[in-house]
Amino acid sequence: MSDTEIRTYTEEASEASKRRETEESTDEVVCPECGGRLETDTEHGETVCADCGLVVEEDSIDRGPEWRAFDASERDSKSRVGAPTTKMMHDKGLSTNIGWQDKDAYGKSLSSRQRQKMQRLRTWNERFRTRDSKERNLKQALGEIDRMASALGLPENVRETASVIYRRALNEDLLPGRSIEGVATASLYAAARQAGVPRSLDEVRNVSRIDKMELTRTYRYIVRELNLEVAPADPESYIPRFASDLDLSDEAEGRARKLIEAAREDGQLSGKSPVGLAAAAVYAAALLCNEKVTQSDVSEVANISEVTIRNRYKELLEAEGVVTA
């Protein structure tokens, strides 16, 4: 943590306490009983008289910040809500946590007897939290999903979906005999397709530790067992990514979409690999828009052979010709 961060925080805190002092001093300055000085005990939420100990106010509201802001943007986005629940944490972030400090709710130290009790509770709570093999399984798998999703640049919602799929697979006892990594990878692959931001099997495999055969096998398996509805990948969903990887204009991108549409009308889409079609459409569109892209460029970003691009793009142009003619 840098110096500036520390200063920002302490300033924040002292400002808040100053504000609190001034606000309350306008109310009652002295103790109504003995006229002594009043003190605010923030830890207990009380206002007490320093001389006679009279509690003037109980359960006072702490107007200080309940968040810590380390920079300007954090201060701007300060929020009074708690952490959102998330499916990305194995317990949705909601499980019980027993603090490590031996303090009670008021911050007082615990008696040794209490301390021992809390120690036992901590131990058991921790055991219940992670003992279940399923939970531990999930913990690891979700970590993997997160890692792979980041590597592939997939958005949050895809990770969430992948997590849900994985959770379902786990609940249906689909795991025995399959690797955690494999199912996690397959879940992510399926999630990406469902979300309309597909990554090819190869791309997914590249960031995973499993081989392609295991991935396809596992993927098919969980799709079948969970009755996941995964429509065949739409070539169009690959277009934006390829187009941007090749620095093409929006115009070319739109053109590529139209080519795919034309081919769809013509019934040229079925049976062909969506990636190949998308690659060919992007290539053809670039030509039509006079934007310089070579076949090998496209084949590289799409991981598709040049031959396939040639074959597809011939067909695409024909289909387009048929429709426009």
Partner DNA sequence: ATGGTTTTTACTGCGTC
Partner DNA sequence: GACGCGGTAAAAACCAT
Residue numbers at the binding site for DNA (CB under 7 A): 212, 216, 271-273, 276, 294-296, 303-308, 310-314
Smallest distance from DNA to CB 190, Å? 14
Amino acid code (one letter) for 248: L
Q: Tell me whether residue 110 or residue 201 sits nearer to DNA (CB atom).
A: 201
Smallest distance from DNA to CB 116, Å? 60
Smallest distance from DNA to CB 311, Å? 6
The H or E element containing residue 225 is: helix 212-226
Smallest distance from DNA to CB 172, Å? 22
CA 288 to CA 235: how far, in whole Å? 19
Smallest distance from DNA to CB 209, Å? 18
Q: Tell me whether residue 49 or residue 192 sits nearer to DNA (CB atom).
A: 192
Nearest to 194 by CA among 225, 223, 224: 223
Q: Taking the CB of residue 112, how many other CB atoms lie within 10 A of it?
A: 9
Which tokens belong to 179? 């690797």
Q: Tell me whether residue 107 or residue 271 sits nearer to DNA (CB atom).
A: 271
Nearest to 68 by CA among 2, 106, 3, 11: 11
Smallest distance from DNA to CB 294, Å? 3
Q: Tell me whether residue 88 or residue 317 sits nearer to DNA (CB atom).
A: 317
CA 177 to CA 221: how far, in whole Å? 12
Nearest to 278 by CA among 294, 301, 296: 301
Q: Tell me whether residue 165 or residue 302 sits nearer to DNA (CB atom).
A: 302
Q: Tell me whether residue 84 or residue 271 sits nearer to DNA (CB atom).
A: 271
Q: Tell me whether residue 115 or residue 212 sits nearer to DNA (CB atom).
A: 212
**Are residues 139 and 172 in contact, defined by beta-carbon separation less than 8 angstroms?**
no
Q: Position of tokens 């009043």?
A: 38
Q: Position of tokens 């913990």?
A: 139
Strands (E), the chain: 38-41, 46-49, 55-57
CA 198 to CA 195: how far, in whole Å? 7
Smallest distance from DNA to CB 184, Å? 20
